[in-house]
Amino acid sequence: MLHALVTVVQEAAANEAAGSIGLIGAGLAVGGAVLGAGLGIGPIGAAAAQGIARQPEATAQIQTAAIIFAALIEGVALFGLGLAFILF
């Protein structure tokens, strides 16, 4: 069902016949990107906190790796935002 909705939104955005459906597609794109980023960054933060609790002497290395991973996930969220602007 979700695939059918995405197909309808893509066709409407390509035809620009119904502007409101393009806005729905942009909203779905941004919502999906933010949801995915949140689901990705949450476990990173939990694992980093657990790793620091287990080995406090490795705090700097764990924080550096966690920040790099979080930045990569935020990059994917920005691609979703770019897709929303293209659909809009």
Which residue range is the domain that position 25 belongs to? 2-87
Radius of gyration of the chain from its Cα atoms, rounded to whole angstroms = 18
Q: What are the structure tokens assigned to 66, written together?
A: 């966690």
Please give the C-alpha separations between residue 19 and each of 3, 15, 27, 30, in angstroms, as whole numbers: 20, 9, 13, 17
pLDDT digits (tens, 9 = 90+) for 11-58: 766 666 556 776 777 788 788 888 888 898 999 999 999 999 999 999
The enclosing H or E element of 10 equals: helix 2-15
- Which of the four pLDDT bands, split at 50, 70 and 90, describes residue 68? very high
CATH code where residue 80 lies: 1.20.20.10
Residue 88 CA to residue 82 CA, distance in Å, equals 10
Number of domains in the chain: 1
pLDDT of residue 78: 85
Q: What are the structure tokens assigned to 39, written together?
A: 């689901």
pLDDT of residue 43: 92
